[in-house]
Structure 1
Amino acid sequence: MKINAKSLLFGLSTTLLFAQCNPQKSEETSSEEVIVKEVKTPTLTKIWETDSTLTTNESVLYDAASGKIYVSNIEGQPTEKDGKGSISIIDKEGNIVSQDWVTGLNAPKGMGIANGNLYVTDIDQLVEINLESGEISNKYPVEGGQFLNDLATFDGKVYFTDMNTGKVHMLDAGMISSVTEGHESINGIAIGTDGTLYGLDKSGFKTLQTDGSSTILNETVTGGDGLVILGDGNYVASRWAGEVYFINAEGTETLLLDTKDASSNTADIGFIPGDNIVLVPTFFKNKVVAYKLDY
């Protein structure tokens, strides 16, 4: 049979045209794309520790302005007015720069910086120390104060807890007042950039309101000691017995550190932002241990 070349060419062109109008499904369009988000488990890695001369160290505070790290040492009983307490200074490598920067305190615990001063709780009074001279510039007795503990500063004001009375007090312009109460065994506190007050008490980790009400964010980390706000809804909290936790925005906790078997306490922790270093006062072990936080 004779095939006309022109007809053959037309047939091939038609076939190609239909092929272009009805393309095969590519692997890219036919397969479903599955995106799996990796969930990272936060970790702590030890990087240094100080000499064991920081007797009964309870709290650690990093000063970003100077790079100094302040350590409060009870050196006696937590409720005894014996004049043995002190404040030491260490550097970011764990070297003790000044063992006895401030002496003559009783049982210093929580610390914070405001208005050129270091503020320290000391059983039933708040002590004001000039950062430049290291001299005690004022003492503020707290009426009914029994066991003043953790401390945080915000907008020039000083907030601090009384673990025995369940109250949070505030120093503002030389006057002390009660901010909120009814929080059993409250210890660690921190203040967000928006002024939200966070606390650790017998019921767990929560936000505190001035009317005495609160909102529980985590019920596992009860009786907490130190509290650090990382940002983006993340926090680090310690329990004195020897536990450090990471708490995320959903309120879920991850145990980062457990030193109970070593009889090493984890009291009022500090934090070096930028470097992501958690500073752990070990209380009876008499040293500060630094850990790199990865999260």
Structure 2
Amino acid sequence: MKFSRKPSLVTIWSLSLMLFVFWGCGPANTNNEVEEEEEEEIISSDPSLELLWESAADLTTNESVHYEESNGMLYVANIEGGPDEKDGVGSISKLNTDGEILERDWVSGLNAPKGMAVKGDYLYVTDIDRLLEIELATGEINQTYEIEGAVFLNDAATDGEKVYFSDMRTHKIHYLEDGTIHTLAEDQNNINGLQVGNGKTLYGLDAEGLKQYDAEGGFQIINSEVTGGDGLIVLDENTFIASRWAGEIFLIQDGTATKILDTTEEESNTADIGYIPGENIVLVPTFFKDKVAAYKLTY
């Protein structure tokens, strides 16, 4: 008996059906998986802040926090009394990077301390109408600069040579250089947050938005969405973090602002923020909540 090698029509039809099922189902599942992975990547790449820790609520109306790279410490300015009252109850606290309060009253007897910046061996602190120079090693006030005409000194920043500081109510930016006070810019509406980026470029937050300044006090507006900002961090020349006191924090990239934190419903303020660059940690003084909150930044 001879067996023919020619496949029957039934066999051909069965094989075709199997190939169709394999081709129709297999690749479709793979594409779905790829699409899901891509969607997950898009979601995970959205900028965000994740709460890491909170200090004890013993930092009375803390307005600003500064991370000092030279010694790994956090310095927190506590207004404690009125924000424009010369009452002598303000203080500076010292914390470690886990949020533990090491010295609650590292410096005491101040009025309403706000912005802070470190240049060399000194911490510079704005205090209503004066700029204080405090020794990092001892906490002793080394020098006091009375600022003529000042009303409400706020944030501070340094490029390693000059110490810049803002006066929110006179709408001016001043700076200290070689023991002398100068004025860089005037008519900066409610100027508050200051920070220096790479190349010693000064940036500021006021009622018009985020500004970049030149050496003569001229400026250009980088972002006009985040108006009335408080704290400012410069990640690079195109990337910034800005806070609004009421409880909002924004990531500004290439001129576009994205809100990455909103604690307004909890009535937890976001005042003059600080930053630990090696760990991408944003430090938030919560003002009336009397504590510092630390968040991991992803962007």
Query: Under a length normalisation based on structure 2, what TM-score does the superposition of the two structures give?
Result: 0.84
Q: Does 1:263 align with 2:270?
A: no
Structure 2 counterpart of 1:264, one-letter code = S
Deviation at 1:210, TM superposition (A): 5.0
Q: Distance between the aligned counterparts of 1:174 and 1:55, measured in 2?
A: 32
Deviation at 1:212, TM superposition (A): 4.7
Moved more, 207-216 or 89-98: 207-216
Larger radius of gyration: 1
Gaps of at least 5 residues in structure 2 are 1-37
Q: Aligned partner of 2:257: which letter?
A: E
Q: Is the 8 A contact 1:183 1:212 kept in 2?
A: no
What residue is the counterpart of 1:94 in the other structure?
A: 99
| 1:98 aligned partner, one-letter code | E
Structure 1 gap segments, 5+ residues each: 1-35
1:142 to 140, 144, 147: 147
Structure 1 letter corresponding to 2:49: L
- 1:235-288 deviations in Å (ceiling 9; x for gaps): 10000011000000x211110100100011000000001100000000000000
Aligned-pair RMSD on alpha carbons?
1.4
4+ residue segments displaced more than 6 Å: none
Map residues 92-241 of structure 1 onto 2, 5 A cutoff: 92-231=97-236, 233-241=238-246
* Residue 231 (structure 1) shift: 1.6
In the alignment, the residues of structure 1 paired with residue 277 and residue 215 of structure 2 have an alpha-carbon distance, to the nearest angstrom, of 29
Instruction: Report the secondary structure of 1:194's partner residue.
Output: helix
Q: What is the CA deviation profile of residues 181-231 of structure 1, one whole-angstrom value per residue up to 9, with x for unaligned ones?
A: 111000001111212111000001111245553211111100100000112
Q: Give the Cα separation in 1 of the matches to 2:215 and 2:154.
A: 19
Q: What fraction of aligned residue pairs are identical, expressed as a percent?
A: 55
Query: How many equivalent pairs are there?
Result: 259
Distance (whole Å) between structure 1 residues aligned to residue 138 and residue 109 of structure 2 = 15
**Contact 1:205/1:216 (CA < 8 Å) preserved in 2?**
yes
Alignment match, 1:278: 282
Amino acid at match of 1:258: D
Q: Report the secondary structure of 2:265's partner residue.
A: helix
Match of 1:52 in 2: 57
Whichever structure has more helix as a proportion of its residues is 2
Q: Distance in 2 between matches of 1:209 and 1:181?
A: 13
2:48 aligned with 1:65, yes or no? Answer: no
Q: Does the 8 Å CA contact 2:198/2:236 hold for their aligned counterparts?
A: no
